[in-house]
Amino acid sequence: MNKTPFRLTPYQVQWILVVGFLTVGYALYLRYLAIEFSTVALACDAGLRTMLCTSRAVATVLFKNSVFGIVALVIAVLHVIRPSIVLLTGAVIAAGLGIVLYNIALSGLAIGLLILGFARPAPATA
């Protein structure tokens, strides 16, 4: 049985780049303009009911419980075992959110595993 190594097509690379930039961009927006911005933080803590305050509350609960890092790590391990574009996309989303939103250790480990997911033996030549 001959396995083909996991290689991304150019369209898949572009997809991963777009998803990665959008995820990290949203995470930066959420971190610096919702979580750490004192005016928004005071308004949300005072009881303001907006989508930004809801996103801030959800992100705060998730990063305090290391959900982004754990999810990124689990998906990265699955990607190393059986690589696919779906798992790679999910892991890039979770790791991007985790790196920016305070789950650095687990998300960094997940990114390292994602890189190892491409380390497959070269196909044997005749």
Q: So what's the pLDDT on residue 66?
A: 92
Cα dihedral across residues 15, 17, 20, 21: positive or negative: negative
% of the chain surpassing 90 pLDDT: 75
Q: What is the pLDDT of residues 15-31, one digit of tens each?
A: 999 999 999 999 999 99
Question: Given the structure tokens 């959110």, which residue do they identify?
Answer: 97
Residue 3 placed within a domain:
no
Residue 122 placed within a domain:
no
Domain that holds residue 45: 11-116
Instruction: Give the pLDDT mean for 44-64.
Output: 92
- Total domain count for the chain? 1
Residue 96 placed within a domain:
yes
* pLDDT for 126 beyond 60: no
Q: At residue 31, what is the residue type?
A: R
pTM score? 0.87
Residue 102 placed within a domain:
yes
Residue 15 placed within a domain:
yes
Provide long-range contacts, Cβ within 8 A and 24+ apart, for 106-109: 106/66, 106/68, 106/69, 106/70, 106/72, 106/73, 107/68, 107/69, 107/72, 107/73, 109/69, 109/73, 109/76
Residue 125 placed within a domain:
no
Residue 82 placed within a domain:
yes
